[in-house]
Every structure is written in C-alpha cells, then in structure tokens.
Amino acid sequence: MLIDSHVNLHAPQFDEDREAVIARAREAGVRLMVNISDKVSNWPKVRALANQPDIWCTIGTHPHEAKEDPDLSPATLVKIAADPRVVGIGECGLDFHYDLSPRDIQAKVFRAHVAAARETGLPLVVHTREADDVMGAILEEEYAAGPFRLLMHCYTSGAELARRAAALGAWFSVSGIATFKAAEDVREVIRDMPADRIIVETDCPYLAPVPHRGRRNEPAYIPHVVAKLAEIRGWSLDEADRRTTDAFFGLFDRIPRP
C-alpha cells in the first residue's frame, strides 16, 4: 500500500497541473497522501485539497515562516486541529541552515506546536536542520513535561539526534535524499532507525529521487523511495511496503486503515 506521508500539493509549483499530478499518483498506486501545512495563513489552501478521500492534512507553521506569527498559540492550532481531516501538527521545528526566521522565534513557535500536539494527541511533524543540539534539548525538555508523539520528517540530521529522538519513541520518515549518490551518511542513519517506526515521503515538489533528481518531485515517485529503503535495510519490497504501511497507521491513527 503506497503512502506518501509528506506532500506539499498546495505549493505554487503545482498550480498549472495539480489535478494531473494527483491523478498520476493514483495511477502509480499511491493510496494515501498527507498534505503538509507550511504556515497557518495558508490553511485554506492546505485544507481544500483534503476534501478528497485519499488526501489528509496537517496544521502548522514551518520554521522558515515562524517570523510571520511569532505569537502563534497552541490554542489556535488546537482549534484548527479539531477538523477531522487534520491528522498531525506541523510541519514545525528548527532550521539553522537558512535562518529565515530568528532562532529564538523558531524555538518559541516550535514549542507552541509541541503543546498543541500534546493536547490533541496528534503526531508532531518535525523539521530539523543544522540544529541537532538545540532540537534534542527542546524535545527532551518538552517530553519530560508531558509525552507527545513525534515524526522526524525527511530525516537527514546526525546519528546522535536520531538516537535521542528514538529514545522518546519518535518515528522517522525517509525521502528521496536516500537515493542521492553523496548521501551515504543519511543511509547510515537509516540503517539504525527503529524498524517499526519508519515511513516514507516525497516532500514534493522538492527532493525528487533518482532517477528524477533535478526535476520537480511528485507523489508518483514514492516507489523509488520505498525501493531504496528496502535496499538499505535489506528488506524485500513487500516487507518494506508492509513495514512502512504499519508504521504510518501506527502514527497517523486518525486515518482509518482501509
């Protein structure tokens, strides 16, 4: 059962052919997609796509956009998350590579998302880049204040943060980066991820897997990610499909399993 756990189908890169992209995904066997919120102000666009039975969505603000709403409250996220098509909180987190929002604002907004995930019971979709020490400290501090479920989305950070997150019960998602020739460090971390808490994603329109690298990514390419995960872990394709499907429904449990 092919599932793309992280798509950005509301992105402007799909404005010219969005319906054709969705149709190609279905033709490729993709049964479910989760459309990820990049900022609360974009919520209407994100939610509009989730009117389709095989597309669900999240609510949250990416660290790049944290400066847009530095006083974002958990209550705002909780209220929107009452929508039954919302299955997660985020994408949220820390990005110290681009620093498109001040780091203190990123952390403040991230903690608001954690509180919303804790209150709703929905999984937290975490973005982290070049912020391993700070991310690990915030996750551990917040988890000690009250548990919550979390997904380390498109994980490309270090082995130590992966270990710390796994100790908190985190799930991890693997993207097309795993297929990149120079990404052996990413593959090494994937080999050690908890076998029952790995899911797959495209993060489309970004990070197209080999053999489509350099083009716009789309959900129809998720089989390449599954195949690479199977190779890395020494699983058959069927086992990779079964394991990632089980892990997906274990995490996104607001979605009924067909």
Residue 256 lies in a domain: no
Residue 23 lies in a domain: yes
The mean of the pLDDT values for the chain is 98
pTM (2 decimals)? 0.97
Q: Residue 70 contacts by C-beta under 8 Å, 6 or more apart in sequence?
A: 105, 108, 109
Across residues 175-191, what is the average pLDDT?
98
Query: Concatenated DSSP letters for 195-211?
Result: TTSEEE---BTS-PPTT
Instruction: Supply the range of the domain harboring residue 25.
Output: 2-251
**pLDDT for 58:** 98
Q: What is the largest CA-CA distance in the chain?
A: 47
In total, how many domains does the chain have? Answer: 1
Across residues 198-224, what is the average pLDDT?
98
What percent of the chain lies above the pLDDT cut of 90? 100
Across residues 38-67, what is the average pLDDT?
98
* Distance separating alpha carbons of residues 204 and 216, to the nearest angstrom: 7
pLDDT confidence bin for 199, thresholds 50/70/90? very high
* Distance separating alpha carbons of residues 139 and 137, to the nearest angstrom: 6
SS3 54: coil
CATH number of the domain to which 184 belongs: 3.20.20.140
What percent of the chain lies above the pLDDT cut of 70? 100
Task: Show the DSSP H helices in the chain as ranges.
Answer: 18-27, 43-49, 74-81, 103-120, 132-145, 159-167, 184-191, 222-233, 237-251
Across residues 45-70, what is the average pLDDT?
98
Residue 258 lies in a domain: no
Residue 111 lies in a domain: yes
Comparing CA positions, the residue from 105, 93, 97 lying closest to residue 37 is: 93
pLDDT confidence bin for 152, thresholds 50/70/90? very high
pLDDT confidence bin for 258, thresholds 50/70/90? confident
Residue 17 lies in a domain: yes
Residues forming beta bridges with residue 193, ordered by sequence position:
none
Contact (Cβ atoms closer than 8 angstroms) between residue 178 and residue 232: yes
Across residues 57-76, what is the average pLDDT?
98
Residue 165 lies in a domain: yes
Contact (Cβ atoms closer than 8 angstroms) between residue 172 and residue 141: no
SS3 95: strand
Residue 47 lies in a domain: yes
* Distance separating alpha carbons of residues 30 and 183, to the nearest angstrom: 26
Residue 257 lies in a domain: no
* Distance separating alpha carbons of residues 243 and 207, to the nearest angstrom: 23
Asked if the model's pLDDT at residue 9 lies above 90, the reply is yes
